[in-house]
Amino acid sequence: MAEKVHRVVFQPDGRTLFVPDGQTLLDAARAAGIHMNAPCGGKGTCTGCRIIIPLSPPPPTETCLRELSGEEIRRNLRLACQTRVRGDLRVVIPEETRLGDQKILTDGVAREIALEPNVRKVAVHLPPPAVSDQRSDADRLIDGLAEKGIDGAHIDIRIARELPERLRALDFHPAAVVIGREVVYLDRPTAADACYGIAFDVGTTTLVGYLVDLVTGRLAAVASRGNPQAAYGDDVIARIEYCGRQAGGARTLNSLVVGALNEMVAECCRKAAVKASAVYEATVVGNSTMNHLLLRLPVDGIARAPFVAAAASAHTVSARDLGLRIHPRGRVYTAPLIASFVGADTVGVILATGMHESDRLRLAIDIGTNGEIVLGTRERLLACSTAAGPAFEGARIRYGMRAATGAIDRVDMDGERLVLHTIDEAPAVGLCGTGLIDAVAALVAAGVVTPSGMMRAAADVAKRTPALARRIQGADGETGFVLAAKGETLTGHPILLTQRDVREVQLAKGAMAAGVETLLAEFGAAASDIQEVLLAGAFGNYIRPDRALAIGLLPRVPLERVKFVGNAAGVGARMMLVNCGLRRAADDVARGVEHVELSQRPDFQPRFAEAMIFPPVTL
């Protein structure tokens, strides 16, 4: 019997496809190539995949009824991952549900390093063979390279096979491309200057690529985009679960990320007017899961006790093997991992900030779903990862969204007047992580939220701040604070900070703070001993440190000790591209850093519980 199919039209793109009866709208959107938020990976717990079915929506499932408000159900909102297609549908994907163009941080700390790339392109003039000089073509080339300072070059058999013809075609005047010591290609002498590499920071949420001229060390172009794997879950656990549940799941996630890296290669090359075939090497930093998915290594051991990665060392593989569209004989170097949840991105942060060479006690924090923390000096570095959850990326927050156009990214209080700022100064669509921290800090400071995280009833607040009290409402059985009224938003619905949202912030900041305190205890230091707090990563660089200090997300240090280091992981990848000696340093760092497994520490839970409390806040 023919399979029953239905026509689904996704708006506003108008993309139409026929989907089998019973398929979820989340899977249908993926099949249509629409990247939709799905922070929980389709478990029905995050409400990130809200869609609107304007006409004849299917009855809400139990999960939709539990997770969405009565008002949202009345407005025909449903969760895409919970709604199965049983007839023809028109589906509207609201702005906040799309994985749109979020702000991606590409800049980072700058350090001066020597230009010693692993790839060199060397023009050599070789004497043509003669009866008096019967050296083989390969020896002739190796000797020519030695004269140019490249000792011990060797020639792969594939190159040797084509060498006689190629050398003669180039009149014994080739530009030899040497990666490490291996000759991989002979180019025209006029192309001797065209030698590029690309460094990638492969994050769970965002991807950044830096095209670098390996002759001058100059940054030639930058490209970034959201990680398309996010359609299969916001955090690494959701993606690992997807791989375990779905046959071919790991292959799907691998092709998504490789496809996005190839797009970035093409974009960088277009911007810099460079041919992709002139890019001979890529370096990659990424957390352990991103590293494994890219290398097609099994990921299941990472998330299951005893949390073991398949392979933690650095790898150099051929670009062709990975499907990366640089020069077909190019190489891809992936930096080593520290532990299952402390990856090569942390190695990149350490190299970029020079923590492994510093005498001063420094703390580096990359705030994210999987927060990574490093503390120490050149003598001793400790690292841990802590499950902060996706709240700061806008997930599990009632009106949460990523840092994209229309996101409320700043909240200030002027007396009793709330002052909001949105990204691109567009009408408000939702609340992103920085706005979330600001909002909570402001409400704790105003006494609307208590130190234990309870949102006070309007009647209690009215005595001191009547204007704020008017913003407190019941929101489907829980209390919420109206940040933007419906007339002030693009969506026409108000944007509230709910009691549950405050709780999510407490869990996230509690996890980060308890991680820091555990490392401090292990190191035998106090917060006041920390000479610098380095905020790395996309999120850390947009938060206001005074607000993060106020709610206890950062340890209590004087404000001037907090420094932004930008996308330090990406800088680390670039450094390893232009100076291959740093790859040895990366190995030393990966081996030398002591990993502290928080789940095994009896002192972590009590610290976590205590760290959830808000300190007294004055702004």
The residue ranges that bind ligand FES (CB under 6 A) are 38-40, 42-49, 79, 81
Give 396: exposed, middle or buried? Use CB within 10 Å, 0-12, 13-18, 19+: buried
User: How near is the Cβ of 48 to ligand FES at its closest, in Å?
Assistant: 5
Residue with smaller CB distance to ligand FES, 42 or 494? 42
User: How near is the Cβ of 265 to ligand FES at its closest, in Å?
Assistant: 30
User: How near is the Cβ of 99 to ligand FES at its closest, in Å?
Assistant: 12
Residue with smaller CB distance to ligand FES, 183 or 388? 388
Residue with smaller CB distance to ligand FES, 38 or 496? 38
Residue with smaller CB distance to ligand FES, 49 or 104? 49
DSSP 8-class letter at 342: B
Residue with smaller CB distance to ligand FES, 38 or 314? 38
Residue with smaller CB distance to ligand FES, 398 or 583? 398
Alpha helices by DSSP H, listed for 246-336, are 249-272, 288-295, 300-303, 319-322
User: How near is the Cβ of 50 to ligand FES at its closest, in Å?
Assistant: 8
Residue with smaller CB distance to ligand FES, 228 or 570? 228
CA 527 to chain centre: 28
Which three-class secondary structure state does DSSP give residue 505? helix
User: How near is the Cβ of 286 to ligand FES at its closest, in Å?
Assistant: 23
Q: Any bridge partners for residue 183, and if so which?
A: 155, 178
DSSP assignment of 82-135: G-B--S-EEEE--GGGB---------B-------B-SEEEEE--PPPPBTTB--
Residue with smaller CB distance to ligand FES, 47 or 291? 47
- Residue 461, number of CB atoms within 10 A of its CB: 23
Which three-class secondary structure state does DSSP give residue 327? coil
Residue with smaller CB distance to ligand FES, 210 or 232? 232
Residue with smaller CB distance to ligand FES, 390 or 540? 390
Rounded Cα distance between 69 and 71, Å, is 5
Is the distance from CB of 284 to CB of 202 less than 8 angstroms? Answer: yes
Rounded Cα distance between 213 and 193, Å, is 9
User: How near is the Cβ of 395 to ligand FES at its closest, in Å?
Assistant: 8
DSSP assignment of 530-578: --EEEEEHHHHTTS-HHHHHHTTSS-S--GGGEEEEESHHHHHHHHHHH
User: How near is the Cβ of 35 to ligand FES at its closest, in Å?
Assistant: 13
User: How near is the Cβ of 15 to ligand FES at its closest, in Å?
Assistant: 19
User: How near is the Cβ of 26 to ligand FES at its closest, in Å?
Assistant: 6
Per the listing, tokens 């419906």 go with: 486
DSSP assignment of 161-172: HHHHHHHHHTTT
Is the distance from CB of 453 to CB of 503 less than 8 angstroms? Answer: yes
Rounded Cα distance between 569 and 346, Å, is 7
User: How near is the Cβ of 67 to ligand FES at its closest, in Å?
Assistant: 7
Residue with smaller CB distance to ligand FES, 102 or 567? 102
Q: Nearest to residue 520, comparing CAs of 383, 377, 384, 375?
A: 375
Rounded Cα distance between 244 and 451, Å, is 41
Residue with smaller CB distance to ligand FES, 232 or 542? 232
User: How near is the Cβ of 162 to ligand FES at its closest, in Å?
Assistant: 51
Alpha helices by DSSP H, listed for 337-389, are 344-353
Which three-class secondary structure state does DSSP give residue 373? strand
Residue number of the CB atom closest to ligand FES: 81
User: How near is the Cβ of 232 to ligand FES at its closest, in Å?
Assistant: 10
CB neighbours of 69 closer than 8 A, spacing ≥ 6?
475, 476
322-325-327-332 Cα dihedral, nearest 10 degrees: -40
